[in-house]
Amino acid sequence: MSQEWPRRPEDLARRYREQGFWEDGLLDGLLREQAARQADRPALVSGGDRLSYAELDARVDRLASGLAGLPIRRGERVLVQLPNRTEYVVTVFALFRIGAVPILALPALGPADLESLVRTGGAAAMIVAPGRGPGASSAVAERIARTAPSVRHLVVTGDPGGGEALPWDSLLSSSAAPPTGPASPERSPDDLALLLLSGGTTGTPKLIPRTHADYRYNARASAGASGVNGAAVYLAVLPVAHNFTMVSPGIVGTFAVGGTVVLSPDPSPTTAFELVEREGVTISALVPALVGPWLEEARRSGRDLSSLRVLQVGGSRLDEATARRVGPALGCRLQQVFGMAEGLNNYTGLDDPEDLVCTTQGRPLSPADEVLVVDEQGDPLPAGAVGELLTRGPYTLRGYYRARELDPLRFTPDGFYRTGDLVTRSENGDLTVVGRVKDQINRAGEKIAAVEVEEMLMALPGVRGAAVVGLPDPVLGERSVALLVVPGQECPTRDEVRAQMSERGAAAFKVPDEVRRVGRLPLTGVGKVDKKRLREELMREELTRG
Ligand code: OOB
């Protein structure tokens, strides 16, 4: 088969290795190393499970033997769609251990996307959770497993409900002998380790190839940037399959330095706060949509949150007004994280002044990250100008998996990834995200970046959520519609919005043509505002209204 994903050029790979960005070792080696160093330290807490590094590593060995026995072979892809529970961690590390490649699917992913991933990835197996109600389990997965020619095995955690699936527990072989050594000579840190989903809020997700070396580096460097060390207790609130929760520093970064990972079974602040108090959580990570509910709950709940040192927020733009409430309400430091499953992670510093932390989305993680801000012709722009962010570096992909046709579109000829994010960069290198190349409204030829208007709307009293979208308009081409979530208060009128925006110096054409109140905004699986769905819902409404 032609090359399935482009590697880095040999000279660059050599440089990343020589300069110490890439180390030897595979991802599951991180667990093995900690099990040797500190066998009895707690590694993972989830539901009733409390596993030390030695116990977790042994369980990974047992599942690895079971999977190898099926057989699942080295290099084969396996779709994993599991919730925040022990089985997810054991499954992913067992696949790393046998050199198989997990495709990490978010639980909220629909059947069409799931099927497209299985087909593009040529998955040999699917490992999924039972659905609600007996037998309902993996109805979707069973159908896909039956129809996709590459799939040989379907494994279900919990009760498979009498279908064709194998119970996950039955794969925990009694022999703890690892099927292959952790770094048998033929395996290399440059091997494909996992496939992540592109996080676009439009279109079918694409598969992102990440290697053992690049992911290990991403994890370890991220732990450094967020102050995570052996004493850290990381609470995973967002879906574990999301890159933020995996590696920024997330589960893999916490294991890399020997800390403890606690999995929250749901994203509610009530559950999270109970875990923070009980487990002495020091750090967690949220998308902006969850920050409001956390701040409200902190006011009400009597939970002791004093162990919390850092709250990371990323995945979409955090508005400044909310950012400023985080520290005082939770008694911890805010860290903004601007990351992407494709690679590049940016962090605000733990010692940065508050203004910087609340108004920028951070600086690149690695001294080897190359970033450019370019205009529509691809020419580099000076500091402060708005342009598209391009990046290349030791943990950023060079092309999607089995999608060579996208290379010229999404990468420059010299290997920079075109992020599609519109940013500004200060003289010091701090990035501010001002929108998506495509998340703009074209109102009578004037371009409006949705994010800029949303930021101003969020500063209005009582507004807890805001989204601006463009809808077709016979006169303007597109007119801008603002949707506001205003719990228990009057919704600001369009005049109030105009007054506020003009006070902030916004051009008149940026004032939304319509302001509507909504109960809530549709979110993607990981909690970003789903603009595609929002626009579709609004257009449907327009049609039925006539
Ligand atoms: C994270 O990864 P993805 O792959 O789900 O989404 C990446 C995209 C970025 O290109 C950007 O458009 C947006 O999500 N984004 C942000 C942001 N963080 C991500 N936009 C504004 N402000 C931010 N702080 O979302 C992700 C991966 C690793 C760590 C953190 C987030």
Domain boundary assignment for the chain: 23-210, 216-436, 443-545
- Contact 341 CB / ligand 1 (< 6 Å): yes
CB count in 10 Å sphere of residue 24: 12
Task: Give yes or no for a contact between 21 and 54, defined as CB atoms under 8 angstroms apart.
Answer: no
Task: Give yes or no for a contact between 53 and 41, defined as CB atoms under 8 angstroms apart.
Answer: yes
| Closest ligand 1 atom to 421 CA | 12
Residue reference for tokens 């209204």:
545
Reported as a single tens digit per residue, the pLDDT across 184-197 is 568 999 999 999 99
- Contact 42 CB / ligand 1 (< 6 Å): no
Amino acid at 123: A
- Contact 396 CB / ligand 1 (< 6 Å): no
Residue reference for tokens 């902030």:
504
Record the tokens describing residue 324, joined without a space: 């400023």
Record the tokens describing residue 46, joined without a space: 């989830």
Nearest CA to ligand 1 atom 7: 340
Per-residue pLDDT of the chain (546 residues; tens, 9 = 90+): 458 999 999 999 999 999 999 999 999 999 999 999 999 999 999 999 999 999 999 999 999 999 999 999 999 999 999 999 999 999 999 999 999 999 999 888 878 788 989 999 999 999 999 875 444 447 888 899 999 999 999 999 988 777 789 999 999 977 756 555 455 568 999 999 999 998 754 456 799 999 999 999 999 999 999 999 999 999 999 999 999 999 999 999 999 999 999 999 999 999 999 999 999 999 999 999 899 999 999 999 999 999 999 999 999 889 999 999 999 999 999 999 999 999 999 999 999 999 999 999 999 999 999 999 999 899 999 999 999 999 999 999 999 999 999 899 899 999 999 999 999 999 999 999 988 787 888 887 777 888 889 999 999 999 999 999 999 888 888 899 999 999 999 999 999 999 999 898 888 889 999 999 999 999 988 888 998 889 989 988 877 776
Domain 23-210 carries which CATH code? 3.40.50.980
- Contact 345 CB / ligand 1 (< 6 Å): yes
Topology match between the domains 23-210 and 443-545: no
The domain defined by 443-545 folds into: GMP Synthetase; Chain A, domain 3 (3.30.300)
Task: Give yes or no for a contact between 134 and 30, defined as CB atoms under 8 angstroms apart.
Answer: no
DSSP-assigned states of every residue in 288-347:
HHHHHHHHHHHHH-----TT--EEEEESSPPPHHHHHHHHHHHTSEEEEEEEETTEEEEE
| Closest ligand 1 atom to 419 CA | 10
Give the integer Cα–Cα distance in Å for 230 and 244.
20
Give the distance (Å) from ligand 1 centre to CA of residue 268: 21
Q: Which CATH superfamily does the domain covering 216-436 fall into?
A: ANL, N-terminal domain (3.40.50.12780)
Task: Give yes or no for a contact between 205 and 197, defined as CB atoms under 8 angstroms apart.
Answer: yes
Q: What pLDDT is recorded for position 134?
A: 43
Q: What pLDDT is recorded for position 249?
A: 98
By CB neighbour count within 10 A (0-12 exposed, 13-18 middle, 19+ buried), where does 445 fall? exposed
DSSP 236: E
Reported as a single tens digit per residue, the pLDDT across 170-184 is 999 777 565 554 555
- Contact 315 CB / ligand 1 (< 6 Å): yes
Nearest CA to ligand 1 atom 19: 315
Give the distance (Å) from ligand 1 centre to CA of residue 501: 26
| Closest ligand 1 atom to 313 CA | 24
DSSP 477: E
DSSP 427: T
Give the distance (Å) from ligand 1 centre to CA of residue 350: 19
- Name the residue of 316, 317, 344 to mutate for ligand 1: max ligand atoms within 8 A of Cβ: 316
Q: pTM for this one? A: 0.89
- Name the residue of 319, 338, 458 to mutate for ligand 1: max ligand atoms within 8 A of Cβ: 338
Nearest to 117 by CA among 494, 474, 540, 403: 403
Give the distance (Å) from ligand 1 centre to CA of residue 404: 23
- Name the residue of 197, 340, 423 to mutate for ligand 1: max ligand atoms within 8 A of Cβ: 340
Nearest CA to ligand 1 atom 2: 340
Record the tokens describing residue 320, joined without a space: 């400044």
Q: What pLDDT is recorded for position 176?
A: 59
CB count in 10 Å sphere of residue 498: 17
